Amino acid sequence: MSYGTIGIIWNLVLGTCDFLGGEKNGKLYYFDAIFLFQGEIKMELEGVEIEDTFAEAFPIKVARVLITAVNDKWALEAAKETTGFGTSVIMCPAEAGIDKIASREETPDGRPGVYIIICTFGYKALEEQLLARIGQCVLTCPTTAAFNALKKEESEKEFNTGFKLKFFGDGFESEEELYGRAVSRTPIMGGEFVIEKNIGAKEGVAGGNLFILAKDQMSALTAAEDAVFAIGQVEGAITPFTGGVVASGSKPGSQKYKFMHATINEKFCPTLKDKIEASELPADVNGVFEVVINGLNEEAVSEAMSAGIKAAVKVPGVVKITAGNFGGKLGKYQLRLYDVLR
């Protein structure tokens, strides 16, 4: 089906003209409709309102690691353990998640694999997290190996993580070239552990997000789950929270407790919408979940946001999609929902 001009509904009185796309400010967008309501332009996708707002994202340091193993089970077990306790740097030492499953054809050793991404606000912290997480969660996992998964030309820094981990071998370790890579080989009870000597790192993007507002909790959760699955198909992006879904989206600081670095985002809490004046929830919204996205670059995060939105709006009961920001005062990146859906 070809895309046409945007349907316009003047104050919802003069009729309906729904199309799949249109142009605004010289850019092509894909919506069911655009309409003017009480002097404000609104857009819809699959009948769900998409708010004209942006997700405020931040620079973050990232490393991408490929974990391989004898089969899918052990590659995935190692990846899940390595990215654990990695939801938010508010309290976690890193934000981490599974990027994608690797086929045998794309791994250096021809075995099943999983790509993971680990994120911290500084390179020193990232180096420490790579050493700790790979050393405690990959080296200890049966049949695993670990490889750098950033291209040489995109890496801004390299850490000798594999070189340092070789000393676990207590003098029995070796260094050599294997699969066209410089690796360390350490004999262990389970056989041997192979890891590439250097792991690359670069500046990435953290804090892409979308808020899913629905008529009830389960509709919102189903939509969030579908969004996370869709984002999982986008290479170079992760959803670091538990199951990819955030139940307790927060705001910086506190209105009441000076010792708190982050507290509830009360404007989006359904149980508070009738108790506070500043609630941003429509009357028919009783379920809200957030999906947070980190990635290797702005393009990956934007693509992931788009995929997530397009999946979420297909779920019955979803009323509105919006995003969290700080008015553009804190984050370097402003990822507008209208723009990511182009």
Residues of the chain above pLDDT 70, percent: 88
pLDDT for res 35: 57
pLDDT for res 206: 98
CATH number at residue 228: 3.30.70.520
Domain match, 173 and 98 both: yes
CB 205 within 8 A of CB 57: yes
Phi, psi angle pair for 288, to nearest 5°: -140, 130
Domain match, 121 and 153 both: yes
Domain match, 66 and 178 both: yes
- Domain finish residue from 158, 184, 202: 202
Domain match, 316 and 213 both: yes
Domain match, 26 and 69 both: no
What's the predicted TM-score (pTM) here? 0.90
Domain match, 297 and 193 both: no
CB 201 within 8 A of CB 284: no
Domain match, 38 and 119 both: no
Residue 29: give the domain boundaries.
Answer: 1-45
- Domain finish residue from 156, 186, 202: 202
Domain match, 186 and 211 both: no
Domain match, 113 and 72 both: yes
CB atoms within 10 A of CB 299: 13
Domain match, 150 and 253 both: no
pLDDT for res 7: 34
- Domain finish residue from 149, 180, 202: 202
Number of domains forming the structure of the chain: 3
Domain match, 195 and 322 both: no
- Residue whose pair of structure tokens reads 């979940």 in the numeric block: 289
pLDDT for res 32: 64
pLDDT for res 1: 28
Ranges of the chain whose pLDDT falls below 50: 1-28
pLDDT for res 299: 98
pLDDT for res 16: 39
Domain match, 150 and 271 both: no
